[in-house]
Amino acid sequence: MAKPIMAKATAVWLVDNTTLTFKQIADFTGMHELEIQGIADGDVAAGVKGFDPVANNQLTAEDIKRAEADPTVVLRLKHNPAAEGETKRRGPRYTPLSKRQDRPAAIYWLVKFHPELADAQISRLVGTTKPTIKSIRERTHWNIGNIQPIDPVALGLCKQSELDESVQKAAEKKAREGHAMDDDARRKLLSTEESLEMEDAPRIPTAIEGLETFSLREDSDDKKEKAIDADSLFNLPEGSDDDDEDDEEEGRR
C-alpha cells in the first residue's frame, strides 16, 4: 500500500486532530504502533509540526469520519489521477566513496575487453561520465600510465547480470547494423554462461598446420638428400681403375 509523504508529520497531525486508533494511524503512515503511542505521549517527534493530509489531498474528511466510527476500517491514500503513468526515473548510479577510485580501472577493462559497448552503457554500469570514458579510450587520462584493467564485477561496481545484459544489447545492435564478427568478437558479445558452453577455438588453423607438417617433411627429405650426396663424394665412379692403368701404359711407351 502506498504511504503518504512526510509520514511522521502526518501521524502527528492525526494524533492531535482525530480519534483514530494507534493501529489505524500506524497502518496508514507505515509506522509502528509503539511509535504512534510515543507521539501521543510526547516522547517521539517532539517539535515536529503536523502535516494535514486532508489539505494536502492525501485523505478526505469522509474517510477520517468513517474510520473514527469503525476501528476496523483501514485508511488508504487518496487516489491522485495526475500521478497515473508516472514511473520513477532512474538517475545516475551511486558509487560509494571507497570505490570511486576504482572506476578508471573498471572503465579501462570495459574499453579493452568490450570495445563494442557504447559510452552510455559504460556510464550506466560503473556510474561515471562520458568525458572520463573518452579520456581513457583515447589514453589521454591524467593517470593512464598507472591504470590497470580490472573487472567491474570483481570491484563490486556492477552485477554480472547487468554486464551480460549490456553486452547482449551491444551484440544485437551489431547484428542489426550488419557488422561481420569473428569468433573472438562473438565470444566477447556472449554472456558468461554461453561463452563457457562453447568449444575451445583451435589455436592453429588446419591449413597452416598442414603446411607446417609439409615443410617439416621437406626439411627432412632435404637432409636425407644432403647426406646421400655427401657420401657419394667418397665413392669413386665405375671404370676409374681402368683409366688409371691406361694412363700408366701410355707413360711407359
pLDDT at 127: 86
pLDDT at 76: 86
186 plus 141 within the same structural domain: yes
**Assigned domain for 215 exists:** no
pLDDT at 209: 47
pLDDT at 177: 77
pLDDT at 174: 82
105 plus 58 within the same structural domain: no
* pTM recorded for the entire structure: 0.40
Mean pLDDT of 153-177: 87
55/61 Cα distance (integer angstroms): 10
**Assigned domain for 69 exists:** yes
**Assigned domain for 228 exists:** no
Scanning the chain, the segments in alpha helix (DSSP H) are: 7-17, 22-29, 33-41, 61-69, 103-113, 119-126, 130-137, 152-155, 160-177, 183-189, 192-197, 206-232, 240-252
Which is it for the CA torsion 137, 140, 142, 147, positive or negative? positive
Mean pLDDT of 218-229: 51
**Assigned domain for 139 exists:** yes
* Residue predicted with more confidence, 134 or 177: 134
| Domain final position from 47, 82, 117 | 82
Q: Note down the domain range covering 13.
A: 7-82
186 plus 108 within the same structural domain: yes
| Domain final position from 172, 197, 222 | 197
- Determine how many CB atoms are found less than 10 A away from the CB of residue 234: 6
- Number of structural domains found in the chain: 2
**Assigned domain for 73 exists:** yes
**Assigned domain for 36 exists:** yes
**Assigned domain for 39 exists:** yes
54 plus 116 within the same structural domain: no
60 plus 110 within the same structural domain: no
pLDDT single digits (tens) 88-125: 555 556 666 667 788 999 999 999 999 889 999 999 89
Q: Which of 152, 154, 159, 157 is nearest to 114 (CA)?
A: 152
75 plus 126 within the same structural domain: no
- Return mean pLDDT, the chain: 75
pLDDT band at 5 (very low <50, low <70, confident <90, very high): confident
pLDDT band at 212 (very low <50, low <70, confident <90, very high): very low
70 plus 138 within the same structural domain: no
Mean pLDDT of 152-164: 88
**Assigned domain for 155 exists:** yes
